[in-house]
């Protein structure tokens, strides 16, 4: 049983940014928006007044003016008044540290700013849980929170936690500990284990419970979609693993496929084709619209099933001003009240689903819908909190089918597969499908990457610049995506960034969800006017209003976390010097980066022996989650 204490949390028909703005315009780190603060709203006049009042407050307290926009986005047009009442609310703004919030409080309150202020303790608890969520955790042990509060100089950490619970800044969760019931009946168990207590933010804890409830519902309400004879005929001539995938897809409510990106795509198309041939409503779903367009090119001509990006399938709504929507969210039209009209849904890559998007998806599935979740082994964890696909597999409640390769893999895929197995190998690439480019330091790495994108790859391989994607582990650093984008823009589309930092011709990346494009979607700026930026996405042209342009980033170079949803004909993976890496290189990150290349992979190798060490020794960091336990309840 799970016991929760919270205010009314956002419904799971809303999903958060997989990569909200956490440290200013250059940040493409993939860190999620975990604040859960209300979205800004109000008339244009109120917005202008609110901005002026906040700018005046910040100017008088020494806060950089660059923080005004993010603060308004988090706290709304009344931010100045809220911060005068409680200056530690500044901690809700992404990128603000406890030290900075304390400094602001001292400037705002003078001698009344004290370490034992209960407002401070409350805010620090929420901040610590938010930071845990940014690292993928949905819950945190109370002892860890108490120790961190003590380290931050909170005189009474336990009272701070209680205050945060009373104010619904956090929720307390109790999970029954696992124990051997047979041993208890036999009298061999000395004592029943104590329930495990954790702390979390309502947004993620409730999403995890909604995801688990939805997965249990789909499993319980599923009936076979095809009779035994039809399934047997469909399986005829298939290899054993493909045969098992057909049986699971049509016979069970939820199943998992594990395999390479190409094998998952081909298997998904095959399953959907069988469904459509027998009059079932089926959809093959990808992380982005661009990935859906690429997959549609591989499908039979005029398939009788849907191929779509998940964001588009869920029907995002244009109005972002829903009163209960958390900041950085999009409200979807599909959900419990208006479920998807499909019998079978196959996701080609579910490894990138965070717990909130997973909850949105399963709530949008009607009773009886069959859900097939695909994922590559050793995939990079989601950018947002949780790890639903891995948790579901570890719960041992659904069928998991391992797909063996059914065709020779391209050299980039061969290298990615070796990395997933913990080995960094030399692959046979007679057509220069894989090229390792050594770089002596960050400056040379950026230079080599620009050279590859603008000259070497188009000239030697005939792959145009628009089909080349640069990826790197992080935004920061001398060889991060911010530095790479600056160098690439200077060569490919120089300009002053006159329109919200962008110019017509710029490639842009969606770093926080928009009604017209998912996180990780790339597009090209085609123009700008008072209405906003005109951006050509894979799903069509959209006008991004000025208030939402902060959700865009330059898109020639993207973090692996943000670029994972779309494979490209050519990928340039820039691996920074060890000094810039700061532990970012892991086996899943490297495997995911290499696996994004369809035809050609250039590895700009500036990390030295750190690369091999990461592949050999460094799996993804563990995440504290509850979904596996919740699914089996």
Q: What is the per-residue pLDDT for 23?
A: 29
Cβ atoms of 341 and 315 within 8 Å: the answer is no
Query: Please, what are the averages of pLDDT over each run of 10 residues along the chain (633 residues)?
Result: 33 35 32 39 68 94 90 90 96 94 96 95 97 96 97 97 95 75 58 80 95 98 97 96 98 97 96 97 98 92 92 85 54 95 98 96 98 95 96 97 92 96 94 96 97 97 97 95 97 93 96 93 95 95 90 96 96 88 83 97 96 94 95 90
Closest listed residue to residue 367, CA positions, set 350, 346, 343, 398: 343
Closest listed residue to residue 173, CA positions, set 207, 193, 147, 199: 199
pLDDT one-digit tens code per residue, 500-524? 899 999 999 999 889 999 999 999 9
pLDDT one-digit tens code per residue, 318-336? 764 444 445 557 899 999 9
Q: What is the per-residue pLDDT for 183?
A: 53
Closest listed residue to residue 87, CA positions, set 117, 116, 66: 117
Give the dihedral sign, CA 110/111/112/118: positive
- Angle, helices 481-492 vs 442-451, to 10°: value is 40
Across all residues in the chain, what is the average pLDDT? 89
Q: What is the per-residue pLDDT for 179?
A: 54
In the DSSP assignment, the letter for residue 176 is P
pLDDT one-digit tens code per residue, 177-203? 665 555 556 665 556 667 789 999 999
pTM of the shown model: 0.88
- Give, in order, the Cα–Cα distances in Å from 7 to each of 85, 166, 386, 564: 21, 10, 21, 34
Residue 309 pairs in a beta bridge with 286
Q: What is the per-residue pLDDT for 32?
A: 39
Closest listed residue to residue 208, CA positions, set 45, 376, 355: 355
Q: What is the per-residue pLDDT for 290?
A: 97
Cβ atoms of 621 and 135 within 8 Å: the answer is yes
């Amino acid at each position: 049983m799970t016991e929760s204490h919270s205010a009314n949390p956002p419904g799971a028909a809303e999903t958060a940014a997989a990569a909200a703005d956490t440290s200013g315009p250059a940040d493409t780190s993939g860190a999620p928006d975990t604040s859960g603060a209300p979205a800004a709203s109000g008339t244009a006049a109120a917005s202008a007044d609110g901005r002026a009042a906040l700018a005046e407050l910040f100017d008088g307290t020494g806060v950089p003016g660059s923080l005004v926009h993010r603060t308004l986005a988090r706290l709304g047009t009344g931010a100045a008044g809220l911060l005068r009442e409680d200056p530690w609310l500044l901690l809700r703004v992404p990128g603000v540290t406890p030290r900075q919030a304390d400094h602001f409080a001292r400037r705002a309150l003078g001698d009344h700013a004290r370490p034992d202020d209960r407002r401070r303790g409350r805010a620090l608890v929420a901040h610590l849980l938010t930071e845990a969520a940014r690292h993928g955790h949905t819950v945190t042990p109370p002892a860890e929170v108490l120790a961190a509060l003590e380290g931050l100089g909170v005189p009474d950490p336990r009272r701070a936690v209680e205050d945060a619970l009373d104010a619904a800044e956090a929720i307390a969760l109790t999970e029954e500990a696992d124990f051997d019931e047979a041993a208890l009946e036999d009298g061999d168990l000395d004592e029943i284990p104590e329930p495990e207590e954790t702390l979390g933010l309502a947004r993620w804890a409730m999403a995890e419970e909604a995801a688990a409830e939805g997965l249990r519902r789909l499993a319980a309400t599923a009936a076979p979609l095809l009779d035994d004879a039809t399934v047997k005929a469909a399986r005829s001539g298939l290899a054993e693993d493909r045969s098992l995938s057909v049986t699971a897809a049509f016979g069970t409510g939820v199943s998992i496929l594990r395999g390479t990106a190409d094998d998952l795509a081909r298997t998904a198309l095959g399953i959907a084709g069988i469904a459509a041939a027998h009059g079932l409503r089926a959809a093959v779903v990808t992380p982005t619209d661009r990935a859906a367009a690429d997959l549609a090119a591989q499908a039979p001509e005029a398939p009788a099933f849907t191929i779509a990006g998940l964001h588009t399938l869920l029907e995002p709504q244009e109005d972002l001003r829903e009163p209960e929507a958390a900041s950085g969210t999009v409200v979807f039209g599909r959900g419990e009240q208006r479920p998807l009209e499909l019998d079978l849904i196959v996701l080609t890559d579910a490894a990138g689903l965070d717990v909130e998007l997973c909850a949105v998806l399963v709530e949008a599935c009607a009773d009886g819908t069959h859900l097939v979740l695909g994922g590559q082994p050793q995939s990079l964890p989601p950018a947002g909190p949780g790890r639903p696909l891995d948790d579901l597999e570890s719960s041992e409640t659904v069928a998991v089918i391992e797909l063996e390769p059914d065709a020779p893999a391209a050299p980039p895929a061969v290298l990615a597969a070796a990395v997933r197995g913990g080995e960094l190998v030399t692959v046979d690439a007679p057509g220069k499908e894989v090229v390792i480019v050594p770089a002596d330091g960050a400056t040379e790495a950026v230079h080599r990457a620009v050279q590859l994108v603008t000259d070497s790859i188009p000239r030697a391989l005939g792959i145009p610049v628009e089909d080349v994607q640069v990826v790197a582990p992080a935004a920061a650093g001398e060889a991060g995506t911010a530095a790479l984008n600056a160098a690439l823009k200077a060569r490919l589309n120089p300009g002053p960034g006159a329109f919200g930092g962008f110019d017509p011709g710029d490639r842009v990346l969606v770093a926080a969800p928009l009604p017209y494009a998912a996180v990780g979607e790339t597009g090209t700026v085609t123009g700008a006017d008072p209405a906003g930026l005109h951006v050509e996405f894979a799903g069509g042209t959209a006008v991004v209003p000025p208030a939402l342009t902060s959700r865009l980033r330059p898109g020639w170079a993207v973090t692996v976390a943000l670029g994972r949803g779309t494979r490209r004909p050519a990928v340039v993976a820039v691996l920074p010097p060890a000094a810039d890496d700061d532990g970012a290189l892991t086996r899943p990150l490297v495997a995911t980066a290499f696996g994004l290349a369809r035809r050609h992979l250039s590895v700009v190798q500036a990390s030295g022996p750190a690369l091999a060490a990461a592949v050999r020794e460094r799996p993804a960091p563990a995440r504290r989650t509850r979904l596996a336990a919740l699914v089996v309840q």
